[in-house]
Structure 1
Amino acid sequence: MKSDTQLRDDIQAELNWDPAFKASDVGVIVKDGVVTLTGHLASHAEKYAVERAVQRVHGVKATAVELKVKLAFDNERTDADIALAVERALEWNVLVPNGKIQPQVESGWVTLQGDVEWGYQRSAAERAVRDLMGVTGVSNLVKVKPKLSAADVEKKIRGALSRQVDREVNQFAIAVEGSQVTLRGTVHSWTERDAVQGAAWGTPGVSVVVNELLVDP
């Protein structure tokens, strides 16, 4: 197992390697494998990129994100301009169903609401807007309409896991209540954790995924 000093050095190296942001804008504190990120970034896209970079580092158990988005003067946009850009981004994204999502913008923060049939459509809507200029944050409140019974949902998730994850699917506990899926168990990496979560989101009828999987390298 890595020491906190080794883990911090690896995170700093990963941040320096990623060109999507300035590593000097990010402060990294590590204690017992839990990483706290501090600092100010120029966009929500940079903030998201930092979070993903840290999750790529082997040995990270959890992250506490205290990063703030502070837009540069020439990147500031009115809420009306951002709302128009969001509307067009959703309209032009082939993975987002037309007319199903209603965006709202307040002080640069985008809130997405509406109903879709698939989890991937919900995720696609968020990806479509989070990198737009002027966006300071995104709240994805889009709901996925239930299509299957709880037993069918669990069966489909386990089937997806057996195809995607290189371990026994019975190592994961999958609890289904209505359209909410709760995942419990232990995985070896953030990549594996993301794969399990992706399998759950890719199941029709799933609107909420509570990921309680622990990373134990």
Structure 2
Amino acid sequence: MRVALGVARVRASPSTNRRGAAMRSDGEIKRDVEYELKWDPDIDPSDIGVAVKDGAVTLTGFVRSFRQRTKAAEDATRVHGVKGIANDIEVRLPLVNKRPDPEIVREIIAELKAELPYAADDIKAVVRDGQVTLKGEVEWDYQRRRAADAALRVSGVTGLTNEIEIKPKIKPEDLKRKIEDAFKRNAEVDAQRVTVEAEGNKVILRGTVHSWAEREEAERVAWLAPGVMVVDNRITIDY
């Protein structure tokens, strides 16, 4: 909009994006992330610090379980204006919850057999000082993710590295179509704003979305396709 120059002065309007919505300041984002952490009944936010710079959130401090660490990052991604998360929260177990590694391994094996009865024999768990490493091969990414979730349910686990590989059986040319169809069915992803490229078993996502949560949802949907081994998420956020 053009404005003629004159003697009158007007107050500058807040910065806006291309859709006309006011851009959020780092202070506003920090406040809302802190509120979101307090709103979650599964997290004790008293020992969690929040810092924001240019929309990038850094979480510091410590929690009582690895699941709480993961939940804190998930809570932060729901806040409007967040462009990225650096999760530097440490897991500090109370002494009463510390367990010998052999006990942790046995319970993880039992959890894997209950969660993934047809794939558990192809997954191995290695535990050292409460840190779990999962190895092996599965066909679907959801199996890889469920194995991690099963391990994290075990008391005494302080961290997890998921090295399970996906051994695909689907033809690469089918990946692109399956993911595009999934986007069209998904109410949280604007399929017209996201493009899909498939290079073998690697998927590349491009386009723009309205929030970090929508970007994460697009990536989650892509991982659900059978045989996907890598998702390169190049989607940008247009606030």
> For the aligned residues, what is the CA RMSD?
1.8
Which of 138, 141, 147 matches 2:163? 141
Deviates more, 1:122-131 or 1:164-173: 164-173
Structure 2: gaps spanning 5 or more residues: 1-22
* 1:83 matched residue in structure 2: 105
Deviations 1:184-209 (A, max 9, x none): 32221233223211221111111222
Matched, 1:100 2:84: no
Amino acid at match of 1:190: W
Deviates more, 1:148-157 or 1:81-90: 148-157
* 1:208 matched residue in structure 2: 230
Matched, 1:159 2:181: yes
Distance 1:67 1:198 in 2: 23
Note if contact 1:174-1:184 (Cα within 8 Å) is conserved in structure 2. Answer: yes
State how many pairs are aligned: 217
Give the superposition deviation at 1:33: 0.6
Structure 1 runs of 4+ with >4 Å offset: 165-168
Aligned in 2, Cα 1:167/1:180: closer, same or farther, shift over 3 Å?
closer
Distance 1:167 1:47 in 2: 26
Give the superposition deviation at 1:93: 0.8
Aligned ranges 1:183-194 → 2 under 5 Å: 183-194=205-216
Give the superposition deviation at 1:179: 2.1
Give the superposition deviation at 1:80: 0.9
Structure 1: gaps spanning 5 or more residues: none
Matched, 1:66 2:85: no
User: Match of 2:121, SS?
Assistant: coil
Note if contact 2:190-2:209 (Cα within 8 Å) is conserved in structure 1. Answer: no
Distance 2:118 2:55 in 1: 37
Distance 1:96 1:20 in 2: 31
Larger Rg computed on CA atoms: 2
Give the superposition deviation at 1:45: 1.1
Matched, 1:173 2:195: yes
Give the superposition deviation at 1:165: 4.4
* 2:134 matched residue in structure 1: 112
Give the superposition deviation at 1:34: 0.6
Amino acid at match of 1:141: E
Sequence identity, in percent?
40
Aligned ranges 1:12-91 → 2 under 5 Å: 12-91=34-113
Give the superposition deviation at 1:156: 0.8
* 2:221 matched residue in structure 1: 199
Deviations 1:20-41 (A, max 9, x none): 1211110000111111111011
